Amino acid sequence: MRSYLLALCLTSFLVIPNLPTLAQQLAEHALTESSFRPMPLVFEPNRGQAPDDARFLLHGAVYNVLLAPDKAVFMLPPLVNASNVDQSSKLSIVSVELMGSNKNAAPKEVDLLPGKSNYYRRKQAASWIEGVPQYERVGFESIYPGTDVLYYGNEGELEYDFMVAPGSNPRAIRFRISGANSIAVDDGGNLLVKASTGTIEIHKPTIYQQIKGIKHSVSGGFALRADNEVGVEIGDYDLQKPLVIDPELSYSTLIGANNNTQVLGVAVNASGDVFITGTTSATNYPTVNAFQATNKGSDDIFVTKLNAAGTVVLYSTYLGGSGYDNAAGIAIDAGGSAYVTGTTGSFDFPTTPGAFMTTCPGICNTPFVSKFSGDGTLAFSTYMGGSNSPAHAIAVDTAGEAYIAGNTASNDLPTTVRDGVLELLQRVRGETKCCGYSIGIFHLFWLHPTARLPPCHCGKRHSGG
Domain-embedded: residue 71: yes
Domain-embedded: residue 38: no
Domain-embedded: residue 195: no
Q: Which among 223, 246, 269 is the end of a domain?
A: 246
CA dist 174 and 213 (Å) reads: 29
For residues 367 and 306, state if they share a domain: yes
For residues 282 and 218, state if they share a domain: no
CA dist 72 and 65 (Å) reads: 7
- Closest residue by Cα to residue 203 from 218, 188, 215, 184: 188
DSSP codes, 150-181: EEEEETTEEEEEEEEPTT--GGG-EEEEES-S
Per-residue pLDDT of the chain (465 residues), as tens digits, is 333 332 223 334 443 333 334 334 433 443 333 334 455 789 999 999 999 999 999 987 667 899 999 999 998 876 554 444 444 446 789 999 999 999 999 999 999 998 898 888 777 778 889 999 999 999 999 999 999 999 998 877 889 999 999 999 999 999 999 998 889 998 889 898 888 777 888 889 999 999 988 999 999 999 999 999 999 999 999 999 999 999 887 766 555 555 577 878 888 888 888 899 999 887 878 888 889 988 898 889 999 998 887 767 889 999 999 999 999 999 999 999 999 999 999 999 999 998 888 999 888 888 899 999 999 999 999 988 777 778 888 888 887 888 888 777 777 777 655 443 334 433 343 333 322 222 233 334 222 222 222 333 333 333 333
Give the per-residue pLDDT at 207: 96
389 in Cβ contact with 341 (< 8 Å): no
425 Ramachandran zone, left/alpha/beta (phi>0; psi -120 to 50): left
For residues 99 and 229, state if they share a domain: yes
Rounded to 5 degrees, φ, ψ at 221 are 175, -170
Domain-embedded: residue 310: yes
Could you tell me the end-to-end alpha-carbon distance of the chain, in angstroms, rounded to an integer? 7
For residues 232 and 367, state if they share a domain: no
Domain-embedded: residue 269: yes
Domain-embedded: residue 199: no
Domain-embedded: residue 118: yes
For residues 18 and 110, state if they share a domain: no
CA dist 419 and 446 (Å) reads: 12
- Closest residue by Cα to residue 312 from 286, 335, 294: 286
Per the structure, the count of domains in the chain is 2
391 in Cβ contact with 428 (< 8 Å): no
For residues 18 and 136, state if they share a domain: no
For residues 282 and 419, state if they share a domain: yes
E-strand ranges in 334-447 read 338-344, 366-372, 378-383, 391-396, 402-406, 415-418, 421-424, 433-434, 437-438
234 in Cβ contact with 171 (< 8 Å): yes
- pTM for the predicted model, two decimal places: 0.53
CA dist 210 and 393 (Å) reads: 41
Q: Which among 246, 278, 303 is the end of a domain?
A: 246
Domain-embedded: residue 271: yes
For residues 417 and 332, state if they share a domain: yes
For residues 379 and 417, state if they share a domain: yes
For residues 124 and 50, state if they share a domain: yes
SS3 438: strand
For residues 311 and 213, state if they share a domain: no
Domain of residue 292: give its range: 2-33+255-438
SS3 4: helix
**β-bridge pairing 198-202 and 206-211:** unpaired
For residues 166 and 148, state if they share a domain: yes
**Cβ neighbours of 360 (radius 10 Å):** 22
